[in-house]
Amino acid sequence: MGQNLLRCAQKINGCEIVAAVERPDFPGLGTQVKDFPAKLTYTSAWPTEAEAVIDFTFHTCVAGNIKNAIANKQAVVLGTTGLSEDAQAIVKGATQQIPIVWAANMSLGVNLLLELVKRASEVLDDSYDIEIVEAHHRLKKDAPSGTALMLAEAAAAGRKVALKDVACYGREGIVGERPRGEIGIHAVRGGAIIGEHTVALIADEECVEISHKANSREAFATGALRAALWLTQRKPGLYTMRDVLGFTDQ
């Protein structure tokens, strides 16, 4: 994702990359970033000069990164998934001091998909069974994907129910008849799949499918950079890509 952010930043007016931050044991620390027009070297130091920081790291790093951002009064675009409850609490608490865009998927298309799923779930009642299938590469650590959970939350919001009351994470064995109103969520892992998500609303008479397929990780990078530019003009608070895209009143 770091390489994609560097490439995409060159195509977006107003974007200036001031640091490329890597983990302390990264073998290329101190070397120049290739194929980047400005002189930029990999560093493990926190980028104190940045207005906004984009975090695509690992869930155990997020709490420390947020604390650094607070100390330097920086906006944060957070795309890291798999956060513990403690880390989530730190992120939410930080929004009292700094602006944060927090989204499991920064793709503009996926965030449009969320709106479509919410609307479809409002229009089509619970005689339409909702099933969500996501597919990712074999190296992905968490399942289901953060995006699949966001889609499930959007579907539940459309139905005006709590996801925890209707979610079914895969099925095995003699599970009995499918309960009315259940939302199924299923994960596929294999190969080098970047990210595919399909939401199916299935009735006896018809099936409506809403899908998104990522062709390149640049889709996530472009959305994250757009979010960073938008966020530098915002007050402290918790925002999502829905806010960035203008789907809310904030």
> Which tens digit of pLDDT belongs to each residue from 135-156?
999 999 899 998 999 999 999 9
**Which residues, at least 6 apart from 94, have a Cβ–Cβ distance to it below 8 Å?**
66, 67, 69, 70, 76, 100
Does 249 map to a domain?
A: no
Does 17 map to a domain?
A: yes
CATH assignment of the domain containing 95? 3.40.50.720
Query: Mean pLDDT throughout 76-100?
Result: 95
CATH assignment of the domain containing 120? 3.30.360.10
Same domain, residue pair 91 and 164: no
pLDDT score recorded for residue 82: 85
Range of the domain at 36: 2-106+217-244
**Which residues, at least 6 apart from 122, have a Cβ–Cβ distance to it below 8 Å?**
158, 159
Query: Mean pLDDT throughout 210-239?
Result: 94
pLDDT score recorded for residue 163: 98
Q: Indicate which residue of 59, 73, 118, 140 is catalytic.
A: 140
Residues 173, 111 contacting (CB under 8 angstroms): no
Residues 107, 244 contacting (CB under 8 angstroms): no
Same domain, residue pair 160 and 116: yes
Does 198 map to a domain?
A: yes
Q: Indicate which residue of 39, 73, 136, 164 is catalytic.
A: 136
pLDDT score recorded for residue 185: 98
Does 250 map to a domain?
A: no
Same domain, residue pair 47 and 78: yes
Residues 51, 75 contacting (CB under 8 angstroms): yes
Same domain, residue pair 206 and 122: yes
Query: Mean pLDDT throughout 29-53?
Result: 93
Task: State yes or no: pLDDT of 168 exceeds 80.
Answer: yes
Does 30 map to a domain?
A: yes
Indicate the SS3 state at residue 100.
strand
Told to judge if 136 belongs to the known catalytic residues of this protein, a careful annotator would answer: yes
Same domain, residue pair 224 and 168: no
Same domain, residue pair 193 and 229: no
Mean pLDDT score of the chain: 94
Does 224 map to a domain?
A: yes
Residue keyed to tokens 């975090």? 55
Same domain, residue pair 121 and 62: no
pLDDT digits (tens, 9 = 90+) for 65-86: 999 999 999 999 999 988 999 9
Same domain, residue pair 222 and 181: no
Same domain, residue pair 223 and 102: yes
pLDDT digits (tens, 9 = 90+) for 170-205: 999 999 999 999 999 999 999 999 999 999 999 999
Same domain, residue pair 101 and 221: yes
Same domain, residue pair 96 and 140: no
Same domain, residue pair 21 and 78: yes
Least confident of 63-67, 215-219, 233-237: 215-219
pLDDT score recorded for residue 105: 85
Does 143 map to a domain?
A: yes
**Which residues, at least 6 apart from 186, have a Cβ–Cβ distance to it below 8 Å?**
131, 132, 133, 134, 144, 169, 170
Query: Mean pLDDT throughout 27-36?
Result: 92
pLDDT score recorded for residue 247: 83
Residues 91, 114 contacting (CB under 8 angstroms): no
CA–CA separation, 199 and 130 (whole Å): 7
Q: How many CB atoms lie within 10 A of CB 117?
A: 24
pLDDT score recorded for residue 38: 82
**Domain count across the chain:** 2
Does 115 map to a domain?
A: yes
Percentage of the chain modeled with pLDDT above 90: 87
